[in-house]
Amino acid sequence: MERSPNPRARSTQPDAPWQGRHLLGLEDLSAGAIASILDRAQVHAQHAAQSREKSQALKGRVVFNLFFESSTRTRTSFSLAAKRLSADTQDFSPTGSSLSKGESFIDTARNLEAMGADILVVRHPTPGTPKLLAENVACAVVNAGDGAHEHPTQGLLDLLTIRRAKGRIEGLTVGLLGDIAHSRVARSNIWGLSKLGAKVILCGPPTLVPRGWERLGCEVAHHFDDILPRCDVVNVLRIQFERQHAGLFPSVGEYSHFYMMTQERIKRARPDLLLLAPGPINRGVELTPEVADGRHSAILDQVANGLAVRMAVLEMLGGERAE
């Protein structure tokens, strides 16, 4: 049966370093490619801890942040990453632009390309939109989150945070907690963690963790207290309040009762539990403030690692390369 070209065909060699033209998702990447990005990001992270000096890697390059959906943290992180590499950066968000006049997203991207964009960092509420853009422009495209599909740099920064804290990823048990069904962070984590050899447990109410994930090699659980003692890492996903309005869980209170990370629960976890949260977090819903600010929490490390990961990705996509 004919089918469009399989993006995974590129990653046939599991240990080869990343050489992609775009970063659209972690599903497309081999373990070796992911590790090579993490290695490079680690260099940036260590450098940032010692020095304020900028890299010249993207001098003269133009990076556009094309955000069709609001974001402060991810956009700021990408902007700063580009600036740390000496690229010129420009934000473009559709509010008030010609998009509201009916211009298609592909036209918008082509316009930015005509302004000299070398890399488009794209966030869009619709899955697959970065891929469609990548097929229609010559510059590099980085997916900064496409609907519930993927958020690869978030996945990478979670991996980097785990690797730096635990020294490894292979063999760890990582619980992803909350709204798996509607989470791009969950999907990028699932692909990245599985490829690097971690065991992934998905935990949340059945309306937010529907059946089928076992086929991706994950364990599915609905009672957090049952799985917490087995977890080396728990990644607490943000709960979107509109899911409650859609009736997928009865109340925020009931959600918190089953899934909020509290001091009580921490006591039943492994002593070296690492706690991640992609944020922005709802204190008192997913995490109590004591836990968010406590010794298990790596939330601020994630932010710092996010900058390093985005620097590595932009540099590997936009720097000089042997062709």
Partner 1 sequence: MATIQITGGRVIDPSQDLDFEGDLWLSRGRVLPHGSASEDADLVVDARGMIVCPGLIDVHVHLREPGNEEDETIATGARAALAGGVTSVACMPNTRPAIDTQAAAEFVVLQARRARQANVFPVGAVSKERKGEELAELGQLVAGGAVAFTDDGAPVVSAALMRTALEYARMFDRVVMQHCQVPELTLGGVMNEGFESMRLGLGGMPAAAEDIMVARDIRLAEITGGRLHIQHISTARSVELVREGQRRGVRVTAEACPHHFSLTDESLRSFDSNFKMNPPLRTWSDVEAVIEGLKDDTIEILATDHAPHAREKKMREIDLAPFGIVGLETLLPITIKCLIEPGHLTWPRVIRKLTCNAATLLNLTNKGTLRAGADADVTIIDPNARWTIDPAQFHSKSRNTPFGGWEVRGRAHAAIVSGELRFSRDPRHQLLIST
User: Residues 75, 84, 123, 124: which binds partner 1 (CB under 8 A)?
Assistant: 124
Decide: is 129 part of the binding site for partner 1 (CB under 8 A): yes
Q: Which is nearer to partner 1, 4 or 50 (CB)?
A: 4
Decide: is 138 part of the binding site for partner 1 (CB under 8 A): no
| Pick from 187, 117, 199: nearest CA to 162 | 199
Strands (E) across 147-263 are located at 173-177, 199-203, 219-221, 233-236
Alpha carbons 308 and 80: distance in angstroms, whole number: 10
User: Residues 44, 75, 84, 187: which binds partner 1 (CB under 8 A)?
Assistant: 187
Alpha carbons 313 and 91: distance in angstroms, whole number: 18
Alpha carbons 202 and 208: distance in angstroms, whole number: 10
User: Residues 111, 126, 173, 240: which binds partner 1 (CB under 8 A)?
Assistant: 126
Decide: is 181 part of the binding site for partner 1 (CB under 8 A): yes
**What is the nearest approach in angstroms of partner 1 to the Cβ of residue 3?**
6
The site for partner 1, by CB under 8 A, has a size of 31
Q: Which stretch binds partner 1 (CB under 8 A): 90-98, 180-188, 231-239, 253-261?
A: 180-188
Q: Kind and range of the H or E element at 203?
A: strand 199-203
Decide: is 11 part of the binding site for partner 1 (CB under 8 A): no
Alpha carbons 202 and 206: distance in angstroms, whole number: 10
Decide: is 104 part of the binding site for partner 1 (CB under 8 A): yes
Alpha carbons 153 and 167: distance in angstroms, whole number: 20
> What region, left, alpha or beta, does residue 138 occupy, with left being phi > 0 and alpha being psi -120 to 50 degrees?
alpha
Decide: is 210 part of the binding site for partner 1 (CB under 8 A): yes
User: Which residues bind to partner 1, rule: CB under 8 A?
Assistant: 1-4, 6, 27, 104-106, 124-129, 131-132, 146-150, 181-182, 184, 187, 210, 212-213, 215-216
